[in-house]
Amino acid sequence: MGRAWAKNILSTSHRVELVGWVDVIDGKARQAISELDIDVATNIRDFVSLTEALTVTKPDFVIDVSIPEAHEEVTVTALGYGVAVLGEKPMSVSLASAHRMLAAAAEAQKLYMVSQSRRYDSGLVAFKQAIESLGGVAILTADFFIGAHFGGFRDEMPDVLLKDMAIHTFDAARYLVGAKPLTVYCDSFRVPWSWYSGDESALATFEFENGIRFSYRGSWAAEGHQTEWEACWRAICPRGTVTWDGMGKVIVDKIVGDSGFIRETVKSDWTIDDLPFVGIAGSLNDFLDALEQGTEPMGLCTDNIWSLAMVLYAVESSRLGQKVEIAI
Ligand SMILES: NC(=O)c1ccc[n+]([C@@H]2O[C@H](COP(=O)([O-])OP(=O)(O)OC[C@H]3O[C@@H](n4cnc5c(N)ncnc54)[C@H](O)[C@@H]3O)[C@@H](O)[C@H]2O)c1
């Protein structure tokens, strides 16, 4: 993912310059830099120590693309040097750790934003607008079914679906609902044919403020009839229903009749112009705007902690076998 971020920075060269690359494994950063365009690569220093990189290059900000277990150390160190941070999801591995990161950002009075790159998607933005046109959502559902044969660390990771993937879908649900999650009941489990050692499947129901319910069904061991990585969505609203398959058109089915056993509805597409910055390019653009103009980016740490909380309390609910309250 570090390589994807480097390309993202290089294609935003009118606003940002890549001056250093840190990896704790000696040689890895050097190798990655050597794969870049030679003219650019000669100006990028490689380091194994973040503190040395901060001292030598004096950057305006750090992009943290380390493993989740290292996010706290990287973020708190950079903030301690008075340097803003744009970090990969998930913020961290526990809420206690996330709170220490929030405290470090407050203490340094520097921006710390988490990149939830899947928010920068014209389909998702259109879906949210369509929901609002029907009076807001009361029941939101998301299906995520992909038979993913990664190999590597994910095959051994406990709660792999919830911790490595579902945060994207849960964060998207928060964006769509625009309210706080209050409770979750989750059943996280392995299917009998699973090639994962941790739970690769989960069924979860969240309650948000205003009685809004969000139902999530997901599996990384579901082969055939694959959904999109953005999940397949349905929003039940007072004036009708909106669907989005995560890739194609957002379809609004609006009530037009006021009598009959089944009320008459009319279907239409809800389209918007393509977003200028998609995925991690959207995150970077949002972050740079916030640094330069003081705007509030999506993924601001004090807001993003709620997406992490949805994941961690879903895991806890499954362990306890009961509904739990979500509190940060
Ligand atoms: N937004 C997305 O769609 C998306 C996709 C993939 C990964 N990610 C996220 O990106 C992050 C990295 O994932 P990845 O798949 O690239 O992992 P990876 O294991 O391939 O790479 C992580 C790198 O970080 C290095 N590292 C570990 N600790 C470090 C530290 N303290 N300082 C500097 N470097 C350190 C490792 O040596 C390794 O080279 C994770 O948080 C992951 O969740 C996001």
If phi over 0 gives left and psi between -120 and 50 gives alpha, with beta otherwise, what is residue 240?
Answer: left
User: In which domain, by residue range, is 39 found?
Assistant: 2-117+279-300
The answer on 125 and 263 residing in a single domain is: yes
Residues with CB under 6 A from ligand 1: 1-2, 22-25, 28, 50, 65-68, 70, 73-74, 88-89, 117
The answer on 132 and 263 residing in a single domain is: yes
The answer on 100 and 27 residing in a single domain is: yes
Please tell me the total count of domains within the chain. Answer: 2
Which amino acid is residue 211, in one-letter code? Answer: G
Q: What's the pTM value of the predicted model, to 2 decimals?
A: 0.96
Give residue 79's pLDDT: 98
Give residue 41's pLDDT: 85
CATH number at residue 67: 3.40.50.720
The answer on 292 and 228 residing in a single domain is: no
The answer on 12 and 94 residing in a single domain is: yes
Instruction: Give 28's contacts (C-beta < 8 A, 6+ positions apart).
Output: none
65 alpha carbon – ligand 1 mean position (Å)? 5
Give residue 38's pLDDT: 81
Residue 180's SS3 state is coil
pLDDT in tens, 53-73: 999 999 999 999 999 999 999
The answer on 81 and 213 residing in a single domain is: no
Give residue 42's pLDDT: 87
Q: Are strands 181-189 and 45-47 parallel, antiparallel or unpaired?
A: unpaired
- The sign of the CA dihedral 169, 173, 179, 185 is negative
The answer on 267 and 152 residing in a single domain is: yes
Contact (CB, 8 A) for 307 and 170 = yes
Closest atom of ligand 1 to 115 CA is: 1
55 alpha carbon – ligand 1 mean position (Å)? 23
**Tally of CB atoms within 10 A around 5:** 20
The answer on 166 and 255 residing in a single domain is: yes
The answer on 191 and 91 residing in a single domain is: no
Residue bearing tokens 């790159």: 117
The answer on 80 and 138 residing in a single domain is: no
Give residue 40's pLDDT: 84
- Candidate from 3, 51, 65 with most ligand 1 atoms within 8 A of CB, to mutate: 65
Give residue 307's pLDDT: 98
Q: What's the rounded Cα separation, in Å, for the pair 199 and 161?
A: 7
Tens digits of pLDDT across the chain (328 residues): 999 999 999 999 999 999 999 999 999 999 999 999 888 888 999 999 999 999 999 999 999 999 999 999 999 999 999 999 999 999 999 999 999 999 999 999 999 999 999 999 999 999 999 999 999 999 999 999 999 999 988 999 999 999 999 999 999 999 999 999 999 999 999 999 999 999 999 999 999 999 999 999 999 999 999 999 999 999 999 999 999 999 999 999 999 999 999 999 999 999 999 999 999 999 999 999 999 999 999 999 999 999 999 999 999 999 999 999 999 9
Q: What's the rounded Cα separation, in Å, for the pair 151 and 196?
A: 9
The answer on 135 and 77 residing in a single domain is: no
Give residue 72's pLDDT: 98
Give residue 297's pLDDT: 98
Q: Considering just the CA atoms, what is the radius of gyration of the chain in Å?
A: 21
